[in-house]
């Protein structure tokens, strides 16, 4: 029963430091600042961005509609992936680039289960919960495959997961005999759209539930502590009685669960799948979310709330760009700008420069007073 170690820097208050510097030291500074910037931009450019209205959907249910709802809704898969990706990053010091492809596999398995052998099924052939559980199980197996390569064969995570990145979508297609199954049963789509009578998109609830579960797990188990210590120094963790290999493997299996849930949300949005396009490039966004959350991509200390916030920032950015009719092909370029800024800001050289720049005026001000 150990709570995760908090960033010690945030707890020690040094009286001689300016407020600005204390703020910038906070791990959540970058994602919060980015979010505030985006909100301010939208407030100034067009406040109607934040308008939320109640509409009636085609089934006659009242539903909330607006950009903010869209952000919360569309970020769901990314947030769930970012949580798992944070753990993997922290424990193994590398990222899983196969999450998009394994999402295709999980989605394909779930559709195969509920559709049976039909290409276009009107009723579910199996209780949905069972199909999802099978999808999670399969996804955990693929997570374990990645984790084994990383933990026991000591292959670079990016190289190890390149295998599933390359093969995953072909496997997903093979699971359904290269057909594109369609599930027409409306109850299948509840998880990706709206539950009857509830005006908030279901993915928002699923995401909240996942966040809650991880909060509880990190609060009441040693997973967070162990993951951090393995990421910081695997050898000394081993000397202290931990099994670094097992913990690395475990984080990949947990990511597998996250991937399956994200895949389920994605396929239930439309009741269908397109193997080569589903969740394309989502791995890059998930990694970006982790970085945006102020987590070191080389592993060690982590903060899943930073990654969650990072994921929402990315979706906020995407939605903002769509609102201003930026071509969807240009979106990666804007994300690249964010990455460049992040990398530059987090470079030690720049950090030192910034710190000394802030120190000088603060000192001068003190002398004057």
The three-class DSSP label of residue 78 is helix
Among 72, 71, 77, 123, which residue's Cα sits nearest to residue 264?
Answer: 77
Site string for another protein, 220-259 (x = CB under 8 A): ----------------------------------------
Count, residues near another protein per rule CB under 8 A: 52
Verify binding: residue 3, another protein, rule CB under 8 A: no
Q: Minimum Å distance from CB 343 to another protein?
A: 25
85: CB partners within 8 A, 6+ apart? 95, 96, 99, 255, 258, 286, 287, 289, 290, 307
CA distance 8 to 167: 43
Stretch that binds another protein, among 170-178, 221-229, 252-260, 349-357 (CB under 8 A): 170-178
Please check whether residue 173 is in contact with residue 277, taking contact to mean a CB–CB distance below 8 angstroms: no
CA distances to 34, 168, 224, 355 from 350, rounded to whole Å, are 18, 39, 30, 8
Residue among 35, 160, 255, 260 that touches another protein (CB under 8 A):
160
- Nearer Cβ to another protein (68/133): 68
Verify binding: residue 346, another protein, rule CB under 8 A: no
Stretch that binds another protein, among 158-166, 244-252, 298-306, 354-362 (CB under 8 A): 158-166
State which of positions 277-316 bind another protein (CB under 8 A).
277-280
Residue among 51, 209, 360, 365 that touches another protein (CB under 8 A):
51
Verify binding: residue 112, another protein, rule CB under 8 A: no
- Nearer Cβ to another protein (255/279): 279
Residue among 45, 152, 154, 236 that touches another protein (CB under 8 A):
154
Inter-residue long-range contacts of 3-10, CB under 8 Å, 24+ positions, other chains counted: 3/219, 4/218, 4/219, 4/224, 4/225, 4/228, 5/225, 5/228, 5/301, 7/301, 7/303
Verify binding: residue 70, another protein, rule CB under 8 A: yes
CA distance 275 to 108: 8
Verify binding: residue 18, another protein, rule CB under 8 A: no
**Token pair of 53 as six digits:** 């209205």
Give the helix/strand (H/E) hosting 353: helix 348-368
Please check whether residue 321 is in contact with residue 303, taking contact to mean a CB–CB distance below 8 angstroms: no
CA distance 212 to 218: 10
Q: Minimum Å distance from CB 350 to another protein?
A: 32
- Nearer Cβ to another protein (279/290): 279
Q: Which residues bind another protein (CB under 8 A)?
A: 48, 51, 55-59, 63, 65-67, 70, 74, 120, 153-156, 159-160, 162-163, 166-167, 169-170, 173, 178-180, 182, 193-194, 266, 269-270, 272, 274-280, 318-319, 322-323, 325, 327-329
């Amino acid at each position: 029963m150990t709570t995760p170690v908090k960033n010690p820097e945030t707890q020690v208050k040094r009286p001689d430091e300016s407020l600005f510097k204390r703020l910038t030291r906070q791990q959540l500074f970058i994602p919060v600042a980015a979010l505030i910037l985006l909100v301010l931009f939208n407030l100034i450019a067009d406040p109607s961005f934040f308008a939320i209205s109640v509409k009636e959907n085609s089934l006659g249910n009242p539903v909330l509609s607006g950009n903010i709802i869209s952000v919360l809704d569309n970020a769901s898969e990314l947030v769930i992936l970012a949580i798992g990706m944070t753990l993997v990053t922290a424990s193994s010091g590398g990222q899983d680039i196969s999450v998009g492809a394994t999402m295709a596999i999980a989605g394909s398995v779930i559709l195969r289960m509920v559709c049976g052998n039909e290409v276009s099924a009107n009723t579910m052939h199996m209780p949905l919960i069972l199909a999802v559980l099978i999808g999670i199980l399969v996804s955990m197996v693929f997570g374990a495959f990645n984790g084994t390569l990383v933990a026991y064969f000591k292959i670079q995570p990016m190289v190890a997961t390149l295998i599933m990145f390359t093969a995953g979508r072909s496997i997903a297609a093979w699971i359904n005999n290269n057909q594109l199954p369609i599930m027409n049963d409306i109850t299948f789509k509840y998880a990706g759209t709206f539950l009857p009578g509830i005006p908030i998109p279901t993915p928002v609830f699923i995401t909240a539930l996942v966040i809650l579960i991880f909060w509880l797990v990190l609060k009441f188990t040693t997973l967070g502590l162990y993951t951090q210590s393995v990421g910081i120094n695997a050898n000394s963790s081993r000397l202290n009685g931990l099994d670094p290999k097992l913990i690395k493997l475990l984080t990949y299996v947990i990511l597998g669960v996250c991937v399956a849930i994200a895949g389920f949300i994605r396929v239930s949005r439309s009741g269908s799948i397109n193997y080569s396009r589903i969740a394309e490039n989502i791995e890059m966004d998930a990694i970006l979310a982790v970085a945006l959350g102020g987590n070191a991509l080389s592993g060690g200390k982590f903060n899943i709330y930073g990654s969650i916030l990072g994921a929402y920032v990315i979706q906020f950015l995407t939605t903002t760009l769509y609102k201003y009719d930026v071509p969807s092909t240009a979106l990666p370029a804007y994300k690249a700008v964010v990455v460049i800024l992040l990398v530059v800001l987090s470079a030690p050289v720049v950090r030192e420069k910034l710190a000394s720049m802030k120190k000088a005026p603060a000192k001068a001000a003190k002398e004057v007073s």
